[in-house]
């Protein structure tokens, strides 16, 4: 090997040092570059390019591939082909992946879905709810909180707006009164029996282990004693205080709204429906201590998808923009886990518990449009007039459509 | 027994057999790590979400130690340079030695011959290049051990924080890839350690201690344990113990005569240079794997 190559090797020694310097610089570069945001695919490409350059330097100069025999090149060529086949098997296997995995796909799907709904149900609200039922049973999230609802409602209440879901909340100071609107939400008709989730949960002791006495029951429709309906969001959609600037932080410190906590316990969301104000911090807890991920699909806010490994006990997140409709939140690890988050511009909302009661306080006197929303049963509206310091009652009755 | 083509090239491949062998082995290693990289791609693209290596665990990342891994990258690059320098110092020494021997046989210029001889002789050059080699090889092993220490610290930190391969698919592939890579480092340290020292002399020198002290002590301890733990089983197995004694001593003696370590430089210098080249090729491959592992596991963003 070394015969008569004394000069070659001596010159190579210098080269080795230059290659070492180049590798050191490239290491610094690859670490430095990782702080720049190229997007996911951009980062992968950049990192792989730098790594390939470094690897080539090692292979060509340290492993002497710059002057090697043909037989070695042939061997390595064959290896490279086999290696690429291995990698492309993996890439190919993921090309018919689950629709969840690609956010763009999901967005496109929802957009197409919503467009088709727009054509179908421009005049038929009933069928919209029916479609929601279907969507619920499929893999995709129910488009209850999707632009179609916002679009439709905007057309009714704000004909001058173009229906992009945003409304002007920045004008005017926050005003409050002493009037109260309260009422009862009930369910009429045969109460649907919710299915047990025991079978679905049976794969994960972290889930079913929390249910020792009773089976976990789907919390899509929860009806209490004397047919009262839980998990209904009642809110003001039209009326005097709307269009004024309310600040989440002020409302919390004044005690007009509660601190928002979304817990994951027994592989269910507690609470099932969460109503917050825009800009209000949500504390997402993982009491289960198992792997969850929190995947929220808002219409206006940017999508939010965070893994919560078992050691991550809580994360805080804030939706800055208000949303016309509640949007779904789900866990992709446990398909039955679903909930809704409503991001509102003002503090005039209330969620019903098992007793079906709601109460909206601190209202100035006036005439209001009240909306009661249920994820499965649709929404009902009613116009309520309330005088200063008085309590007006308004009851809602949902029925299965 | 003469092993063919340890020094000269085999006509049909154009390289000595050891080099073809190590490249075939490295090709199989490419497929081994390739399969795991393929697994990484499959796990990552199939996952709903993927952890970001550099982000702390509390913020939903994987909490890997990027500064330490960067340090390890430098360490491995440096060790790649030192092992190639170890090979180069042998190759340069050997070439110079041959040049001088050639001059002595056919002196073209008597003045030149005197100058060269006065400065150095072949034996001196050979001894000096071995020293250089040992310096660079020692550095290589030192760097490898540093790498392992850093890696052990990282693993320990993970385990003490309740992070195991089962915690998340990210950690599953992280521990598999870095663990396999770590095993390769350990393998490299063993081989390089073998080439570093004159094992034949060392073991022969300490043979008396091994033969009269270590083996008997181990056997006496074994007998004591058997007597202590009960009955006269010791008498039943005493022939077996004698047999073990003879077997072990015989094995060690055979072993000693078969492992020259760096002493092959004295007997078959060209073959030794080739051995070091093969060890170097393996070590560069281990470095190369890390060059890809580092950005893929530590630097890529999550999703």
pLDDT reported for residue A270: 86
Q: Output the tens digit of pLDDT for each of chain A's 401 residues.
A: 444 455 567 788 889 999 999 999 999 999 998 888 888 888 889 999 999 999 999 999 999 998 899 999 999 999 999 999 988 888 877 654 444 444 554 455 455 545 554 554 444 444 444 444 444 433 333 333 333 334 333 433 444 444 344 444 445 677 888 889 999 999 888 888 888 888 778 777 778 777 877 788 888 888 887 888 999 999 998 887 777 788 888 888 888 888 888 988 888 898 899 999 988 989 998 888 788 888 888 888 888 888 887 777 788 888 988 888 899 998 888 888 889 999 998 899 999 988 889 999 888 888 888 999 998 888 898 989 888 888 888 999 988 76
The number of distinct structural domains making up chain A is: 3
pLDDT in tens, B11-23: 999 999 999 999 9
**Residue A132 covered by a domain:** no
Claim to verify: residue A88 and residue A100 sit in the same structural domain: no
* Other CB atoms within 10 A of residue A329 CB: 25
Full residue range of the structural domain in which residue A368 is found: 179-399
Q: Do A10 and B92 touch (CB under 8 A)?
A: yes
Nearest alpha-carbon partner for B293 in B157, B182, B154? B182
Query: Chain A contact for B211, CB < 8 A?
Result: no
Residue of B nearest to A100 (CA): B48
pLDDT reported for residue A114: 54
Claim to verify: residue A85 and residue A102 sit in the same structural domain: no
Claim to verify: residue A109 and residue A70 sit in the same structural domain: no
pLDDT reported for residue B69: 95
Burial A51-62, CB ≥16 within 10 A → b, else e:
beebbebbbebb
Claim to verify: residue A257 and residue A149 sit in the same structural domain: no
d(C-alpha B72, C-alpha B77), whole Å: 9
Of B23, B38, B303, the CB nearest to A86: B38
Claim to verify: residue A211 and residue A340 sit in the same structural domain: yes
Query: How close B43 gets to chain A, by Cα (Å)?
Result: 9
pLDDT reported for residue A104: 52
Claim to verify: residue A87 and residue A207 sit in the same structural domain: no
Query: How close A31 gets to chain B, by Cα (Å)?
Result: 7
* Other CB atoms within 10 A of residue A206 CB: 17
**Structure ipTM:** 0.85
Claim to verify: residue A68 and residue A120 sit in the same structural domain: no
**Residue A131 covered by a domain:** no
d(C-alpha B18, C-alpha B4), whole Å: 10
- Substitution target from B268, B291, B302 for chain A, most A beta carbons within 10 A: B291
**Residue A173 covered by a domain:** no
Claim to verify: residue A82 and residue A100 sit in the same structural domain: no
d(C-alpha A31, C-alpha B153), whole Å: 21
Tokens linked to A140: 């995709």
Give B129's contacts in chain A (Cβ within 8 Å). Answer: none
- β-bridge pairing A268-270 and A260-265: antiparallel
Q: Work out the end-to-end distance of chain B between its first and last CA atoms, rounded to an integer number of angstroms.
A: 59
Give B46's contacts in chain A (Cβ within 8 Å). Answer: 94, 97, 101
Spatial CB neighbours of A76, under 8 Å, sequence gap ≥ 6: A65, B23, B27
CATH number (domain holding residue A248): 2.60.40.420
Q: Do B49 and A76 touch (CB under 8 A)?
A: no
pLDDT reported for residue A400: 77
Claim to verify: residue A202 and residue A329 sit in the same structural domain: yes
Claim to verify: residue A215 and residue A281 sit in the same structural domain: yes
**Residue A107 covered by a domain:** yes
**Residue A71 covered by a domain:** yes
Residue of B nearest to A65 (CA): B281
- Substitution target from A294, A309, A335 for chain B, most B beta carbons within 10 A: A309
Where do runs of H (alpha helix) occur along A172-305?
A: 198-201, 205-208, 248-253
- Substitution target from A25, A31, A204 for chain B, most B beta carbons within 10 A: A31
**Residue A134 covered by a domain:** no
**Residue A169 covered by a domain:** no
Q: Do A1 and B291 touch (CB under 8 A)?
A: no
**Residue A101 covered by a domain:** yes
Query: How close A42 gets to chain B, by Cα (Å)?
Result: 10
Claim to verify: residue A208 and residue A270 sit in the same structural domain: yes
Claim to verify: residue A370 and residue A269 sit in the same structural domain: yes
Spatial CB neighbours of B133, under 8 Å, sequence gap ≥ 6: B86, B89, B90, B262, B265, B276
Strand residue runs (E) in A137-244: 179-188, 233-238
Q: Work out the end-to-end distance of chain A between its first and last CA atoms, rounded to an integer number of angstroms.
A: 87
- β-bridge pairing A391-393 and A357-363: unpaired
Residue of A nearest to B282 (CA): A63
Residue A360 near residue A204, CB atoms below 8 Å = no
Name the stretches of chain B with pLDDT < 50.
none
Spatial CB neighbours of A274, under 8 Å, sequence gap ≥ 6: A260, A262, A282, A329, A339, A340, A341, A342
pLDDT reported for residue A107: 55
Give B34's contacts in chain A (Cβ within 8 Å). Answer: 82-83, 86-87
Strand residue runs (E) in A204-337: 233-238, 260-265, 268-270, 273-277, 281-286, 292-296, 304-308, 314-318, 327-330
Give the residues across from B126 on adjacent strands: none
């Amino acid at each position: 090997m070394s015969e008569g190559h004394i000069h070659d090797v001596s010159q190579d020694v210098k080269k080795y040092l230059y290659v070492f310097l180049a590798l050191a610089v490239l290491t610094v570069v690859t670490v430095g570059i990782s702080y720049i945001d190229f997007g996911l695919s951009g980062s992968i490409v950049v990192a792989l390019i730098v790594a390939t350059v470094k690897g080539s330097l090692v292979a060509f100069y340290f492993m002497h591939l710059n002057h090697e025999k043909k037989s070695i090149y042939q061997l390595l060529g064959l290896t490279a082909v086999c290696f690429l086949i291995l990698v492309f098997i993996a890439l190919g296997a993921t090309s018919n992946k689950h629709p969840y995995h690609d956010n763009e796909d999901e967005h496109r799907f929802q957009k197409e879905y919503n467009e088709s709904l727009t054509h179908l149900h421009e005049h038929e609200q009933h069928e919209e709810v029916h479609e929601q039922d279907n969507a619920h049973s499929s893999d995709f999230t129910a488009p209850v909180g999707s632009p179609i609802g916002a679009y439709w409602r905007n057309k009714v209440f704000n004909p001058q707006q173009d229906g992009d879901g945003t409304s002007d909340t920045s004008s005017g100071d926050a005003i409050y009164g002493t009037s109260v609107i309260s009422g009862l939400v009930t369910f009429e008709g045969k109460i649907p029996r919710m299915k047990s989730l025991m079978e679905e949960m049976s794969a994960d002791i972290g889930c079913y282990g929390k249910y020792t006495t009773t089976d976990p029951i789907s919390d899509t429709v929860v009806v209490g004693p004397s047919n009262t309906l839980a998990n209904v969001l009642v809110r003001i959609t039209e009326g005097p205080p709307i269009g004024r600037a309310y600040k989440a932080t002020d409302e919390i410190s004044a005690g007009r709204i509660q601190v928002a906590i979304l817990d994951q316990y027994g592989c269910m969301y507690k609470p099932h429906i969460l109503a917050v104000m825009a800009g209000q911090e949500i504390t997402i807890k993982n009491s289960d201590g198992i792997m969850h991920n929190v995947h929220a699909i808002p219409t206006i806010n940017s999508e939010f998808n965070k893994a919560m490994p078992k050691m991550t006990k809580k994360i805080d997140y804030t939706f800055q923009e208000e949303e016309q409709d509640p949007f779904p939140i789900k866990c992709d690890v446990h398909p039955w886990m679903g909930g809704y988050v409503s991001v509102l511009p003002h503090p005039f909302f209330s969620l019903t518990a098992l007793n079906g009661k709601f109460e909206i306080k601190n209202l100035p006197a006036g005439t209001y449009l009240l909306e009661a929303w249920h994820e499965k049963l649709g929404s009902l509206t009613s116009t309520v007039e309330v005088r200063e310091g008085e309590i007006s009652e308004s009851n809602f009755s949902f029925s299965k459509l | 027994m003469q092993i063919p083509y340890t020094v000269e090239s085999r006509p049909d491949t154009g390289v000595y057999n050891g080099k073809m062998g190590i490249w075939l082995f490295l090709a199989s290693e490419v497929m081994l790590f390739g399969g795991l990289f393929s697994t990484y791609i499959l796990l990552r693209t199939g996952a709903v979400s993927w952890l970001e290596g550099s982000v702390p665990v509390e913020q939903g990342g994987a909490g890997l130690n990027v500064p330490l891994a960067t340090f390890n990258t430098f360490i491995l690059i440096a060790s790649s340079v030192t092992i190639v320098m170890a090979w180069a110092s042998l190759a340069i020494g050997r070439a110079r030695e041959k040049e001088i021997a050639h001059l002595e046989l056919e002196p073209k210029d008597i003045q030149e011959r005197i100058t060269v001889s006065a400065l150095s002789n072949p034996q001196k050059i050979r001894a000096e290049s071995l020293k250089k080699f040992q310096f660079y090889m020692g550095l290589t092993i030192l760097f490898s051990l540093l790498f392992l220490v850093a890696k052990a610290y990282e693993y320990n930190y993970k385990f003490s924080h309740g992070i195991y391969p089962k915690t998340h698919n990210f950690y599953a592939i992280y521990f598999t890839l870095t663990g396999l890579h770590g095993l390769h480092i350990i393998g490299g340290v063993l081989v390089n350690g073998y080439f570093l020292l004159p094992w034949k002399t060392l073991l022969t020198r300490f043979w008396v201690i091994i033969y009269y002290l270590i083996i008997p002590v181990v056997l006496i301890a074994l007998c004591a344990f058997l007597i202590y733990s009960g009955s006269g089983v010791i008498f039943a197995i005493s022939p077996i113990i004698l047999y073990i004694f003879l077997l072990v001593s015989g094995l060690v003696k055979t072993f000693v005569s078969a492992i020259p370590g760096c002493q092959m430089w004295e007997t078959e210098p060209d073959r030794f240079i080739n051995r070091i080249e093969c060890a170097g090729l393996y070590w560069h491959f281990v470095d190369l794997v890390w060059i890809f592992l580092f950005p893929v596991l530590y630097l890529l963003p999550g999703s």
